[in-house]
Amino acid sequence: MRRRLGRVGGLLGIVAVVLVTGFGVRSDAGVDPRAISPAADTPSVRALRIMPLGSSSTVGAGSLGTAGFRWPLESLLARDGIAYDMVGSQQSGPAAMPDRDHEGHGGWTMARMQPLVAGWMARQRPDVVLLQVGTNDLITGVPPAVVAQRLDTMLRTIRSTSTAGVIVAGVWAPLRSRLPARAEYARLAAAVVARHRSAGEPVTFVDTSTLLGPGDVADGLHPSAAGYRKIAAIWEREIRSFVTIRH
């Protein structure tokens, strides 16, 4: 669902780019984003289509009242003046949340997602994919090398069906019983993303393995509201970089 949001403050680099391209940033400073209703794109602004793609943390398990990282992220994008449209086949989150669309599927492994990825890309046409996968694969005992191969396959599928930039986050769940596998997957996932990046693809890897502290986890697996705020800040930083570089 498209949201057109007011700009508060600077981001001069992004604004300078958007003045030329008309992509993603509005100029109605000081407007409360909750007071702006969805509307069609104007000739000067095209909303950035963002697909949060993952499993239960994308849904928001551990902090359903904030829809996990999604509502805090929307607040940060509103502050930045980035007009966004969250996209996906799923909807969840508090009724007051500006945009409840996402592609989060609780409990799913990459193997279960893979047959559907091409269709999601074709139907939703994202500009940016926030990809956080691999946790459930590791929990179910899939070897890290196989999980990394699944990530490679998913990135290839996204690239074959979409021009979207992909921001890949590592596993942020503690997985205390799977620490060696978690660490090995982080290394392999970074290498997979580096290969795609060296081929000229708009993809980046964010290592989130040390992001969450003891007070940032709600149930031993999913982040708390505080943890999700940290995750939202990571996504927001990478989205800003994407807008600046690509446009």
Q: For the chain, which ranges sit under pLDDT 70? A: 1-45, 245-247
How many beta carbons lie within 10 A of that of residue 6, not counting itself? 18
Number of CB atoms found within 10 A of residue 20's CB: 8
Q: Give the C-alpha separation, 198 to 193, whole Å.
A: 9
Helices H / strands E in the chain, number of each: 8, 8
Assigned token pair, 124: 């939703």
pLDDT, position 2: 56
Beta strand 101-104 with 48-54 is parallel
**DSSP-assigned letters across all residues of 200-216:** T-SEEEE--TTT--GGG
* Residue 203 CB partners (closer than 8 Å, separation 6+): 155, 165, 166, 167, 168, 193, 196, 197
CB 177 within 8 A of CB 156: no
Q: What is the per-residue pLDDT for 14?
A: 28
Distances from the Cα of 14 to the Cαs of 11, 20, 82, 116, 131, in angstroms?
Answer: 5, 10, 9, 33, 23
Query: Residue ranges of the domains in the chain?
Result: 48-246
Q: CB 221: neighbour CB atoms within 10 A? A: 16
Q: What is the pLDDT of residues 138-197, one digit of tens each?
A: 999 999 999 999 999 999 999 999 999 999 999 999 998 899 999 999 999 999 999 999
Output the pLDDT for position 243: 86
Closest CA to 238 of 34, 73, 10, 66: 73
DSSP per position, 11-79: -HHHHHHHHHH-BSB---TT--GGGPPP-PPBTTBB-EEEEEEESHHHHTTT-GGGTTTHHHHHHHHHH
Give the whole-angstrom CA distance, residue 129 versus residue 134.
15
pLDDT of residue 30: 38
Q: Give the model's pLDDT for residue 9.
A: 33
Residues 83, 33 contacting (CB under 8 angstroms): no
The fourth-level CATH superfamily of domain 48-246 is SGNH hydrolase (3.40.50.1110)
